[in-house]
Amino acid sequence: MRDGFINLNKPSGMTSHDAVNHVRRIFSTRKVGHAGTLDPQACGVLPIAINQATKFIEYLADCDKSYRAEILFGISTDSGDLDGKIIARAENFHMPTTDELNAILKSFVGEIEQKPPKFSAIKIHGRKAYDLARKNFEFDMPRRLVKISSIELVDLDKNSATIEIDCGKGTYVRSLAIDIGERLNLPTTLKNLIRLRVGDFDLKKSLTFDEIKKFGADCLLPIEDCLKHLPIFELNERRIRAFLNGLPTTVNAPDEKLLRIISGGKFLGIGRIERGELRSSKIIV
């Protein structure tokens, strides 16, 4: 069994954990993980790591992501999507015009403060927020800074709007849908969500479970090809063993926390440069 990533097109109605278990069965291996959790009702790109690739999942955390979201106007729920309980409803409301909505969307571009939904996997005092929310515990979600690079209005109909978002890590589209409604003084909730991209993982090149079964190991993407957002450092082949054994190599280069280390055309792992010394952070065995 080889190592690598799979660009999975996760179907709606399945948790990210369920998707991992499905891939485990296909490849008959326990070493499977995923990068960037998708809500059960969301679909689209879910990077899956196989075997040694699981060690490199953390380096996908900083990748930008793209989504297509449909926002439903007129109701809001406790979870921020249609899985939740309706907590507010508006009758005979005025739908925003294209110009009104575009003006609101523009105000969210840049670095903004966002409160994640209570029905999320964020840890609160060591426990997942959604576990506390399901048990009706009272708690506050800490606000966080997130970056939204762009928002585009794709479609507007009688009670919903479809938008496409490019954003940084930690952005919750459910929270964005709620915040858009608040700016318009309307209850809103997320109706549908498709993840279009995670870094270089693109929906157009994603695979279904049936396709993964068909292609098997041939659908695995090389680990180094999935980390192209990290700069490359070419290591002298005479220092390969030192790097793999955790020994420092003196280099004439500025400090860098995350580097793809290549030597002789071979990917060795992730390294860092501190005060003129290159050291390994994660290696391929």
Q: Do both 80 and 125 map to the same domain?
A: yes
Residues 177 and 159 in one domain: yes
128 with 216, same domain: the answer is no
User: What is the number of H-type helices and E-type strands within the chain?
Assistant: 6, 18
CATH number of the domain bearing residue 260: 2.30.130.60
* Average of per-residue pLDDT values in the chain: 93
Closest CA to 64 of 221, 199, 208: 199
Which residue would you say has higher pLDDT here, 116 or 93?
A: 93
**Whether residue 1 has pLDDT greater than 70:** no
- How many folded domains does the chain comprise? 3
The residue-averaged pLDDT of 157-184 equals: 95
Share of the chain above pLDDT 70, in %: 99
Q: Which domain holds residue 215?
A: 4-63+200-226
Give residue-wise pLDDT tens across range 12-22: 999 999 999 99
Q: How far apart, in whole angstroms, are the C-alpha atoms of residue 7 and residue 17?
A: 15
What 3-state class would DSSP assign to 115? Answer: coil
The number of angstroms, rounded, from the C-alpha of 115 to the middle of its chain's C-alpha atoms is 17
Residues 152 and 88 in one domain: yes
pLDDT in tens, 203-236: 999 999 999 999 999 999 999 999 999 999 999 9
**Residue of 3, 18, 39, 81 marked catalytic:** 39
β pairing state of 232-234 and 256-263 = parallel
Instruction: Give catalytic status of residue 39 as yes or no.
Output: yes
**CATH code of 176's domain:** 3.30.2350.10
Is 71's pLDDT higher than 70?
yes
- Grade residue 128 by pLDDT with cuts at 50, 70 and 90: confident
Question: Hey, is 242 helix, strand or coil?
Answer: helix
> Is residue 135 located within the same domain as residue 191?
yes
Distance, in Å, from the CA atom of 54 to the CA atom of 1, rounded to the nearest integer, reads 14
The answer on 120 and 101 residing in a single domain is yes
Cα(71)–Cα(73) distance, integer angstroms: 6
Same domain, 117 and 186: yes
DSSP run (H or E) holding 152: strand 144-156
- Domain boundary at 186, 210, 226, which? 226
* Single-letter amino acid code for the residue at 255: D
Find tokens 């030192």 and name the residue. Answer: 242
Q: What are the Cα distances from residue 183, in Å, to 14, 104, 168, 221?
A: 32, 7, 22, 42
